[in-house]
A and B are shown apart, each in its own frame.
Chain A
């Protein structure tokens, strides 16, 4: 299969706001259940070990007409909760049995309560994570939270989630993480062969497909991409930061690349690469997931940095590791976490002479011209001064 064929399939999945692939998975067996989750991270292993399909919901994108959702939100709140409500009210998620709302900001937090009120009878869980990274403090708390999630899913499915099943799921997600990282590494090495829109769509596919299928897709893509013969452009190399929740339209990602910037790392859909190292498959699986969260997880604005010195270090490391020449802070409008974090990250960049630009978007932004111009000027200035 060629990369184009694989990406065509991903694009069809991305465009499908009825989640047909996930529906079909569920329809194949009356016992199957689907658990949706929102950004930025949930331990999908637990859902998988329960025999359920984790389904990532990233809002409605730029193709969804939001008819009802706007009536639930003031103009100064970001767009992802309104389009998510639209997906719910328009019955596009009627096959979903439960939904997890990770602790990422007050909008998603409150959406968990709204979901309870609007969709009574569904399994709804606010998924809390520790902001204290000591094993015996935040770690203990988190292990218990994971076990509560486990019990909730057991109740929903009527069957026990065994430790062995969890270990097997961790294994398959370790593979998924590795493959996702391989795709990212390949793009970083040879961005002309692996366009960012491809990487993006591949990761989006991982939100709706069973993980085994996604693993195969990533393997196929990696193999096919090796054979791609594309010209290397004189683009500059940038890291995208701030796009971890509401997603930019695909056109925005393409525009950045078209304007002369190779995206060599980003924080879109961090769930695939949240745990940065393989999770141990021996011993207590919940503890292993917790330890990986505490000590090996990626960084976003939704996480507390225990030390002032740590602030921005993850981003700087992304820059260093990927030999990036600049950072693009691209945050959704009204996104408190990303926008409050930005001045601190920008200071770190300045301290380390990493150039950056900033802009805001919405998932349904239509006008790409200003962004293209801004990114183009940024690329030119980097090339000029480097």
Chain B
């Protein structure tokens, strides 16, 4: 059943703004040899963009490069290149896509080669693979590398010891290395200014994400959500551009809400929201459009997702705090979703199902990602037990097209939607 009404797809101002921002950053990255700017590569979770800006360095995120290559259907060949050169078929495909990209000249989406990074900031936040990934890059680039270890919240809390450890590393390892590579002296007041911008943008982002609580939801918090988190999770948090972007986005969503509109899809506005889902796990990028279509064709809207929290749990109250610049960076890193323990993750998903009045939980389990995936089957059972709502499990990969089976995913989703229907008719029978 197709619940959507086709309308002309208009690019909203926020979309155009984001497109310009991303293109601008790639242009900056690919012209550093002329401009003399220095590049630092780092990861999305625990991304310290405000700090990077204090040293006038350009932020390069290999995960987003892999995503770009996935969306352009180029990652498959890159992964195979990496496997041919000795990387195991068993390991994270982001790493292999990155290594394969390097082998093909590191061509950015603007068609120009990306210069080698001047520094690697290994923010070891919520994923073991990060550590090996940057050791592998260091092995190739032989460039200065600094590790920022972010202790995992094993007991579901951030202790003073963890926080002190992160702050100390920032002071004694990370900032000195930045100063050395960039030649720019650290200015904490400059950091404060960026952090103020971050908090402003975060307020608007949270408003947008929470609009999913409305019925119908004016946003899709997964397929749309990955665009909404783009600027704040990457090279723009702390910038005026990000503040402007989130202001625009919020205004657009406010208008959609007032007009009673559903989320935007690649084929126009979704009308007639039929299923409200919470999704756990990252999306598949190589067949992103096809994957999304399987949802909107059935009137399924994702009202909340965990993937949109990998770069910060802003909706749970965290804001960057200019009054405690280094402490807040520590809290930020320590609080990212995949740095939360399994019981915390279960609680959060349970809360989303209740707060967003969802019909159930869908887990997209990613072959590459042990950080997300190990334990998801137990999480699913727990959520079902605690909420009484049905849950479903699909398996895909991030950027390896070999692990996306359209037919399997479609079948799974169809039976899941039937399950929700049955649950509903059971509930209405019981109420009658």
Question: Shortest distance in angstroms between A134's beta carbon and chain B's nearest beta carbon?
Answer: 8
Q: Are B128 and A105 in contact (CB under 8 A)?
A: yes
Most chain B beta-carbon neighbours within 10 Å: one of A104, A117, A333: A117
Is A343 interfacial (CB-CB < 8 Å)?
yes
Q: Are A71 and B128 in contact (CB under 8 A)?
A: no
Question: B131: which A residues are within 8 A, CB to CB?
Answer: 131, 304
Q: Are B378 and A306 in contact (CB under 8 A)?
A: no
Contact with B along A273-293 (1 / 0, CB 8 A): 000000000000000000000
Which chain A residue lies CB-closest to B138?
Answer: A308
Question: A346: which B residues are within 8 A, CB to CB?
Answer: 86
Is A385 interfacial (CB-CB < 8 Å)?
no
A114–B124 Cα gap in the complex (Å)? 22
Question: B169: which A residues are within 8 A, CB to CB?
Answer: 132, 137
Is A322 interfacial (CB-CB < 8 Å)?
no
Query: Per a CB cutoff under 8 Å, which of A106, A127, A144, A342 touches B129?
Result: A106
Query: Contacts A112-B154, A335-B90, A339-B90 known; A105 to B370 CB distance under 8 Å?
Result: yes
Q: Are A137 and B165 in contact (CB under 8 A)?
A: yes
Is B64 interfacial (CB-CB < 8 Å)?
no
Is A334 interfacial (CB-CB < 8 Å)?
yes
A140–B132 Cα gap in the complex (Å)? 24
Q: Are B152 and A117 in contact (CB under 8 A)?
A: no
Is B183 interfacial (CB-CB < 8 Å)?
no
Contact with B along A111-142 (1 / 0, CB 8 A): 11110111000000111101110101110110
Q: Are A128 and B90 in contact (CB under 8 A)?
A: no
Q: Are A106 and B370 in contact (CB under 8 A)?
A: yes
Q: Are B373 and A74 in contact (CB under 8 A)?
A: yes
Question: B95: which A residues are within 8 A, CB to CB?
Answer: 340
A344–B145 Cα gap in the complex (Å)? 16
A112–B374 Cα gap in the complex (Å)? 11
Q: Are B151 and A141 in contact (CB under 8 A)?
A: yes
| Range class of the B interface residue count | 35 or more
Most chain B beta-carbon neighbours within 10 Å: one of A77, A101, A138, A301: A77
Is A380 interfacial (CB-CB < 8 Å)?
no
Q: Are B375 and A111 in contact (CB under 8 A)?
A: yes
A336–B93 Cα gap in the complex (Å)? 11
Question: A111: which B residues are within 8 A, CB to CB?
Answer: 374-375
Contact with B along A351-373 (1 / 0, CB 8 A): 00000000010000000000000
Q: Are B128 and A337 in contact (CB under 8 A)?
A: yes
Q: Are A71 and B377 in contact (CB under 8 A)?
A: yes
Question: A219: which B residues are within 8 A, CB to CB?
Answer: none
Is A341 interfacial (CB-CB < 8 Å)?
yes
Query: Per a CB cutoff under 8 Å, which of A136, A148, A311 touches B161?
Result: A148
Question: B51: which A residues are within 8 A, CB to CB?
Answer: none
Is B395 interfacial (CB-CB < 8 Å)?
yes
Question: B376: which A residues are within 8 A, CB to CB?
Answer: 74
Question: A130: which B residues are within 8 A, CB to CB?
Answer: 149
Q: Are A344 and B374 in contact (CB under 8 A)?
A: no
Query: Contacts A132-B169, A311-B139 known; A336 to B154 CB distance under 8 Å?
Result: no
Query: Contacts A110-B370, A140-B168 known; A74 to B365 CB distance under 8 Å?
Result: yes
Question: B242: which A residues are within 8 A, CB to CB?
Answer: none
Is B135 interfacial (CB-CB < 8 Å)?
yes
Query: Contacts A308-B139, A342-B88, A344-B139 known; A72 to B342 CB distance under 8 Å?
Result: no
Q: Are A137 and B136 in contact (CB under 8 A)?
A: no
Contact with B along A307-343 (1 / 0, CB 8 A): 0100100000000000000000000011111011111
Query: Contacts A73-B374, A125-B154 known; A113 to B343 CB distance under 8 Å?
Result: yes
A190–B21 Cα gap in the complex (Å)? 66
Query: Per a CB cutoff under 8 Å, which of A113, A339, A344, A347 touches B342?
Result: A113
Is B326 interfacial (CB-CB < 8 Å)?
no
Question: A335: which B residues are within 8 A, CB to CB?
Answer: 90
Query: Per a CB cutoff under 8 Å, which of A71, A106, A140, A333 touches B374?
Result: A106
Question: B161: which A residues are within 8 A, CB to CB?
Answer: 141, 144-145, 148
Query: Contacts A74-B373, A112-B341 known; A138 to B90 CB distance under 8 Å?
Result: no
Query: Contacts A77-B373, A77-B374, A128-B151 known; A340 to B133 CB distance under 8 Å?
Result: yes
Q: Are A344 and B135 in contact (CB under 8 A)?
A: yes
Q: Are A117 and B377 in contact (CB under 8 A)?
A: no
Query: Per a CB cutoff under 8 Å, which of A101, A106, A140, A339 touches B88?
Result: A339
Question: B374: which A residues are within 8 A, CB to CB?
Answer: 73, 77, 81, 106-107, 109-111
Q: Are B375 and A110 in contact (CB under 8 A)?
A: yes
Is A305 interfacial (CB-CB < 8 Å)?
yes
B contact residues vs A (CB 8 Å cutoff): 85-88, 90-92, 95, 122, 124, 127-129, 131-133, 135-136, 138-139, 142, 145, 147, 149, 151-152, 154-155, 159, 161-162, 164-165, 168-169, 172-173, 341-346, 365, 367, 370-371, 373-378, 382, 395
7 closest residue pairs by CB, A with B: A126-B154, A113-B342, A340-B132, A141-B165, A339-B88, A110-B375, A106-B370
Could you list 17 A-B pairs, sorted by A, with CB under 8 Å?
Answer: A73-B374, A74-B377, A113-B375, A117-B378, A126-B152, A126-B341, A132-B169, A138-B149, A140-B165, A308-B138, A336-B91, A337-B132, A340-B91, A340-B92, A341-B132, A343-B136, A346-B86
Kindly list 9 other residue pairs between chains A and B, CB separation below 8 angstroms, not including A113-B341, A137-B165, A335-B90: A73-B374, A74-B377, A77-B370, A113-B343, A304-B124, A304-B131, A337-B128, A341-B135, A342-B86
